[in-house]
Chain A
Amino acid sequence: MVPYIELRNINKRFSDVNANDHVDLSVNMGEIHALLGENGAGKSTLMNILYGLDYKDEGEIFVQGQFSDIRTPSDAIALGIGMIHQDFMLIPPFTVTENVVVGLDEEGSSPLLDLDKAARSIKALSEQHGLDVDPHARVEHLSVGEEQRVEILKLLFRNAKLLILDEPTAVLTPQEAEGLFEVLRSLADNDHTIIFITHKLHEVMNISDRVTVMRDGKAIDTLKTESTNPRELAMKMVGREVVFHIDKNLRKSGECVLQIENLHVDDDTGYHKVQGVSLDVHSGEILGLAGVDGNGQSELAQALMNLRPIKEGNIIVNDVDVTNISSSLHRSAGMAYVPADRRKVGSVSELSVALNTILGNINHYTTAGNLIIQDLQVREHAEELVERFDVRPRNLTLDAGKLSGGNLQKVVLGREIMHEPSLLIVEQPSRGLDVGATEYVRRQLLTERDRGTAIFLISAELEEILALSDRIAIIYEGEIMGVINSDEAVVEAIGLMMGGTRLEDLPGYR
């Protein structure tokens, strides 16, 4: 049988990185094919080449056995190839229908718009594939899960037969991810072919038929999913044994560093997102905040860093009231923050990696009354960071925006940790990281804690919370359901609290 897609000997260099090193990949019709690999292994690059966003230096692409020279996304779309990117690409002020129809090749079709007719076909299509969404809603009002369904509808609407999804589950809740998998399975049963990039090994095991592992730009191996296991995949991917369970030292927590008193915060639309949260985090401990994404975690973190107005309540760090201090003073108060969105909030894409490592602390590296940046000192600092956190490639002058998702995360996290804060607030530290980097980042967080830093860890992944935290607070609809010690933590109990049961109402609570 001819493979649906065949990539032969694809090579792509970016200045000093060989992002794709003579890669072969073949994907069969109706297959769900997982693409696995470390951060910076070249997965997105390979898929960008297939979708016409990057052009290969060498190699050939065959679609259903036909040699195809794909130079632009419209070439790819004409061949039935569709891609959903790591960052979503919809136009927020447009309606769902406008987003779906815009860019449709109008050959043969009328140059006039018939949005009502399009809305009806979108409705039908969404019912057929279980992709529930209102065609008339504006995309800016949708949840991430819904946005992703619109992206899929957009591909189906233009008859894409091959769907490429680049880390589609990174921003989804577990329930949303399960919904996505059902859709993908039913699409695959209906002659669609799917390439799926992820770092989560259980997802590979759960959804894929075959899996190709990439490392350092090369395709290492392609395996049948049923005849492999997570340990073997991790081994192939990282090139060494990966430790999934990290041992924690006993906790030596000290005085209270962060004290949150009765905090109330709204989101952008005025919805009351954080409703009277009181918590404390001590030096030398990790307090994990567990909860389904969207229950006020981000708003809470933003309010702590004064990135969002506080309606009521106080924040005290090291006995100083920081509730309304300007964000330029946070560093001197000992606070550091790693936001969930590294690309838009945590970094500046157009600046070099080196300059990104000093963001928020630039005055420390300037002379002549803050007018001149001292390049040498910046370079030393950046080199140390890149070395210590294993950022790849080791190129300090590269625009930060050109780093792969995982490596950018290392830069942001490294910058905050190297400032030796007394309080570190981290959101979704391993989102988008490969298993090796995840292990590494978690170790760094534990080292920071042992050094005496108070860490407030916000994560939608329960497994991560359980692995790292000393105490766990559970948030539901902006309220804390309870705080428990992690050595007494029972997964079922936490699950119940994440669903809205208070600790004191739990069955068997003393």
Chain B
Amino acid sequence: MKGFTGPIYSYLAAVLVSMVLVSLLLALFRIPIFETYTLLITGSLGSMTKLGDTLMVSVPLIIASASLVITFKAGLWNIGVEGQIIAGAVAASFIARELQMPTQILLPAMIGAGFLGGAFWGLLVGLLKIRGGVNEIFGGLGLDFVATGLVVYLVIGPWSRKGIASTSGTEPFHENAWFPTVEGFRLSPLAVSVSLLVVLMVIFVFNRTQFGLKLRSIGLNPNSSYRFGIPTSRYILTALVLGGAVAGLAGVTQVASIHHRLVPSISGGYGFLGILVVLLAGYRPFLVIPIAFFFSMIAIGSIQWQLRLGLHSSLGGVFQGTLVLSVVLISAMRLLRQRREKHVKTEE
């Protein structure tokens, strides 16, 4: 699997195809099609509040996807991002709970801790792989479960609210540990900047550094790369640690700008949703931003479907899934057409 590599406009075609498919589904159940789509737009972009919410959902998704780009480009099927997001969130929560400091110091400390927490979780996947010979898929998945267990334990155990042991989350953090927001909205410019900076960093690493070139080379052919004199194990380890660190930042934004506390579902499934985003982006980091934003629009807009049309919220997921299938379909059709054109060309 190499991800999708088509030109940009073919994404628009894919959106249209998936809209047609979803429309058929809606028609089958006699649901007003036009209204459904307008609700999606107005529900996600219709007001400053809604736009802010959409942006806030896209932040962790963009960061998780950027993390995945790093490891996927190095040829690693990293599905441990969920666990790394949690590790980052737990580390940041620890700082938020334990340190009483002014916000200018506390927030950078939380970001640093999340970065290290995620890096540590990535390091474990890497060590299991290069020392223990455990494929990163199994190591990552296993550590996802461990992290989920850990966060549930913390929430109902040592970090539980006074008197109640509930899975609804810890005590909210002191406001010093909240990312500042635009007055009256949930939108946090700091969180958005972090996500954009991360993407810029990934673009820079892969296009402008020796390190990035080596990772791409390992991703394309580890055997050749080793013969080129690249210490492949060390670079694989570094990629997993760096990917983990970036994923940890997604955890920080989750606790510091969305939930303001640690909750069991803190990773939000972004580690898995990010895999779809990255495959659709064909591993191209700059495309992660619009694709993640579009996914977030569906996620936020589909809330209105439930409120206004009484549709089940999982319809948003159906739309996202159809979108992925349409992209695959379009890329297959594009390849077929290219082949046929070649034939015509040579027959002239």
Chain A positions within 8 Å of B, measured between CB atoms, are 51, 53, 72-74, 76-77, 83, 85, 89-94, 98, 101-106, 109-113, 154, 158, 266, 269-272, 311
Task: Pick the residue among B221, B225, B228, B343 that contacts A311 (CB under 8 A).
Answer: B343
A266 smallest CB distance to B (angstroms): 6
A250 to B226, CA, bound (A): 53
Size of interface on B: residues with Cβ below 8 Å to A? 26
Q: A111-B210, A266-B343 are in contact. Are A91 and B229 (CB under 8 A)?
A: no
Name A266's contact: one of B208, B217, B229, B342 (CB within 8 Å). B342
**Residue numbers in B under 8 Å from A94 (CB-CB):** 216-217, 220
Asked if B209 and A113 sit within 8 Å, CB to CB, the answer is: yes
Identify the interface centre among B207, B208, B210, B231: most chain A CB within 10 Å of its CB: B210
A78 CB, min distance to chain B CBs, angstroms: 8
Max chain A Cβ within 10 angstroms of own Cβ: one of B207, B211, B226: B226
Q: Which of B209, B224, B225 has the most CB of A within 10 A?
A: B224
A270 contact from B209, B210, B213, B343, Cβ within 8 A: B343
Say which residue of B207, B213, B231 sits within 8 Å of A102 (CB atoms): B213
In the complex, B104 has a CB within 8 A of chain A: no
Q: Which residue of B lies closest to A85 (CB)?
A: B227
**Between-chain CB contacts (< 8 Å), 14 pairs:** A72-B226, A72-B229, A73-B226, A74-B231, A91-B221, A91-B224, A94-B220, A98-B213, A101-B210, A103-B217, A106-B210, A110-B210, A111-B209, A270-B345
Inter-chain CA distance A90–B223, complex, in Å, is: 10
A93 & B220 in contact (Cβ 8 Å cutoff): yes
Is there an interface contact between B213 and A73, defined as CB atoms closer than 8 Å?
A: no
Query: B227 contacts A89, CB within 8 Å?
Result: yes
Residues of A with C-beta under 8 A to B109: none
B229 contacts A103, CB within 8 Å? yes
Contact, CB under 8 Å: A103 / B228:
yes
A residues within 8 A CB of B196?
Answer: none
Q: Which residues of A contact B45 (CB under 8 A)?
A: none
Decide yes or no whether B230 CB sits under 8 A from chain A: yes
Residues on B with beta carbons closer than 8 Å to the beta carbon of A105: 229
Taking the closest CB of chain B, its distance from the CB of A20, in whole angstroms, is: 19
Q: Nearest A residue to B215 by beta-carbon distance?
A: A102
* The one of A92, A102, A271 that contacts B228, using a Cβ cutoff of 8 Å: A102
Additional A-B contact list (19), CB under 8 Å, known A102-B214, A270-B343: A72-B226, A73-B227, A76-B229, A89-B221, A89-B223, A89-B227, A91-B220, A92-B220, A94-B216, A94-B220, A101-B213, A102-B213, A103-B228, A111-B209, A111-B210, A111-B211, A112-B208, A112-B209, A272-B346
The chain B residue with its CB closest to the CB of A103 is: B228
Known A-B contacts A113-B209, A270-B346; the reply to A83 vs B227 at CB < 8 A is yes
